[in-house]
């Protein structure tokens, strides 16, 4: 039998890719995760922060979250422990705790200076005892509060602050570990920070703790066996010995050009109490595809790229069209072509070959009108053309007048400006 744990993070429910909402695909992920937990008899699910993309998520995102928690715990014996990340509101996540705890869901949303607030010793149905330490995202002032409690005098100058902060975190983790039961088979730290040497995918905000941009592994208490980490969106093993330190990564791609397969981290403790770690690949519910094209290849390249994806999956598309000279109507041609596929068009941009000109010189004494600026910009971008094509200038004027008008009135008639 053994004991099975899944570790995930950075769901960012409710996130948008430019203007494209991703919640439908996020719900597909949640349903898949629920089925995986039920089918694989997972005993414990850990979510290491950034559940939502914003502190006050949409009703649709909140509903998806609660439905997942309810459906999963109603159809399995899985316990769920989660912490808040820097995108979450800790108090918002904690508010429904009286109901969530009935369903075996424990939220550690706020950072407390009391170690006991962060530590849980649990027994699973098959008699494994697990220690869990949940450290939600914290700010420098949270650590300074702890230092004050320990009567640690503040350093004399700011340059010593990073070491002071790190030492305080070390002491706090040590005191928290004192609350673990000795007979625990496994002690897990759940955190949402940058640790050790990590690789970012670019969608995370850097965390800077007064000059400390990452927490070194040297301060990790020897009683911890597994660091279930969130914040970096790329799945990665940072350390395997003497403890595991793993970023599960986000369950779906949020950026064009992001490579690799998205994963869940899985920990299995076998009946001999040995700890094993592996990955579970997550299906791609929303391909995020960027295609570079030109006049000669755009039809073939777009069709052959999109034909590789299953028809029932709605990909998000970005197209960069390289042209020799300004060509009105290209975006419409690309749109017509894409109409044959089930895709969300995030952006279609054109780039004129080899224009590498300097910025428009402007002086604060001589600020041109928006239309003059547009003409300057156009001539800089397309130096070979003498005049702006009438069609483009008309579109620009229409857009510009709409923009200057009432912003609540829908803009009509303007075709896509390239
Ligand atoms: Mn984060």
Ligand 1 geometric centre to CA of 197 (Å): 16
Q: What angle do CA 199, 140, 51 make, to 5 degrees?
A: 55
Ligand 1 geometric centre to CA of 14 (Å): 14
Average pLDDT taken over every residue of the chain: 88
pLDDT confidence tier of residue 28, bands split at 50, 70 and 90: very high
Q: Which residues have C-beta within 8 Å of that of residue 26, sequence separation ≥ 6? A: 11, 13, 14, 15, 61, 64, 252, 285
Ligand 1 geometric centre to CA of 49 (Å): 7
Domains present along the chain, CATH in parentheses: 3-281 (3.60.21.10), 288-404 (no CATH)
pLDDT of residue 409: 38
Ligand 1 geometric centre to CA of 228 (Å): 14
Q: How far apart are the first and last CA of the chain?
A: 60
Ligand 1 geometric centre to CA of 11 (Å): 10
The mean pLDDT value for 87-114 works out to 96
Ligand 1 geometric centre to CA of 164 (Å): 24
More confident residue, 311 or 332: 332
**pTM tops 0.75:** yes
pLDDT above 90 coverage of the chain, percent: 63
Ligand 1 geometric centre to CA of 89 (Å): 12
Ligand 1 geometric centre to CA of 339 (Å): 36
At residue 414, does pLDDT exceed 60? no
Angle between helices 370-381 and 390-404 (to 10 degrees): 140
pLDDT of residue 410: 39
pLDDT confidence tier of residue 401, bands split at 50, 70 and 90: confident
Q: What angle do CA 70, 72, 75 make, to 5 degrees?
A: 100
At residue 275, does pLDDT exceed 80? yes
Ligand 1 geometric centre to CA of 418 (Å): 35
At residue 408, does pLDDT exceed 50? no
Structure tokens at 257: 């050009």
The mean pLDDT value for 132-156 works out to 92
Structure tokens at 408: 């609540």
Distance of CA 30 to CAs 5, 24, 136, 394, Å? 17, 10, 22, 47
Ligand 1 geometric centre to CA of 152 (Å): 29
Phi and psi for 323 in degrees, rounded to 5?
-125, 160
The alpha carbons of the chain give a radius of gyration, in whole angstroms, of 26
DSSP state of 209: B
Inter-residue contact 335 to 317 (CB < 8 Å): no
Inter-residue contact 128 to 183 (CB < 8 Å): no
Residues 149, 146: Cα–Cα separation, whole Å: 5
């Amino acid at each position: 039998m053994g004991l099975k744990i899944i570790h995930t993070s950075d769901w960012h429910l409710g996130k948008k890719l430019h203007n494209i909402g991703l919640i439908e695909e996020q719900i597909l992920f949640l349903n898949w995760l629920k089925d995986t937990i039920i089918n694989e008899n997972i005993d414990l699910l850990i979510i290491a922060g950034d559940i939502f993309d914003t502190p006050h998520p949409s009703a649709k995102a909140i509903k998806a979250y609660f439905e997942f928690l309810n459906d999963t715990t109603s159809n399995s014996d899985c316990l769920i422990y989660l912490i808040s990340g820097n995108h979450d509101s800790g108090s918002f996540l904690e508010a429904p705790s009286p109901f969530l705890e009935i369903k075996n869901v424990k939220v550690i949303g706020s950072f407390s200076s009391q170690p006991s607030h962060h530590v849980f010793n649990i027994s699973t149905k098959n008699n494994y005892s697990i220690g869990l330490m949940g450290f939600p995202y914290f700010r420098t002032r949270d650590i300074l509060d702890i230092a004050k409690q320990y009567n640690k005098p503040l350093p004399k100058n700011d340059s010593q602050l990073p070491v002071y902060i790190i030492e305080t975190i070390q002491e706090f983790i040590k005191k928290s570990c004192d609350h673990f039961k000795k007979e625990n088979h496994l002690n897990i730290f759940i955190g949402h920070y940058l640790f050790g040497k990590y690789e970012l995918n670019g969608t995370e905000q850097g965390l800077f703790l007064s000059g400390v941009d990452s927490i070194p592994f040297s301060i990790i208490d020897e009683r911890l066996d597994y660091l279930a980490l969130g914040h970096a969106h790329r799945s990665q093993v940072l350390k395997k010995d003497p403890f595991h330190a793993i970023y599960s990564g986000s369950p779906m791609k949020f950026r064009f050009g992001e490579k690799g397969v998205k994963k869940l981290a899985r920990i299995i403790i076998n009946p001999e109490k040995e700890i094993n770690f592996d990955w579970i690949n997550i299906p791609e519910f929303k391909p995020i595809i960027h295609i570079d094209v030109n006049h000669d290849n755009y039809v073939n390249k777009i069709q052959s790229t999109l034909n590789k994806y299953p028809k029932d999956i709605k990909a998000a598309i970005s197209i960069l069209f390289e042209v020799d000279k300004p060509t009105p109507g290209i975006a419409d041609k690309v749109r017509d072509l894409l109409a044959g596929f089930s895709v969300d068009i995030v952006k279609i941009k054109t780039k004129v070959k080899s224009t590498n000109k300097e910025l428009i010189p402007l002086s604060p004494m001589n600020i041109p009108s928006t239309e003059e600026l547009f003409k300057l910009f156009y001539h800089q971008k397309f130096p070979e053309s003498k005049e702006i094509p009438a069609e483009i200038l008309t579109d620009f004027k229409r857009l510009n007048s709409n923009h200057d008008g009432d912003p609540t009135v829908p803009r009509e008639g303007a075709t896509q400006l390239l």
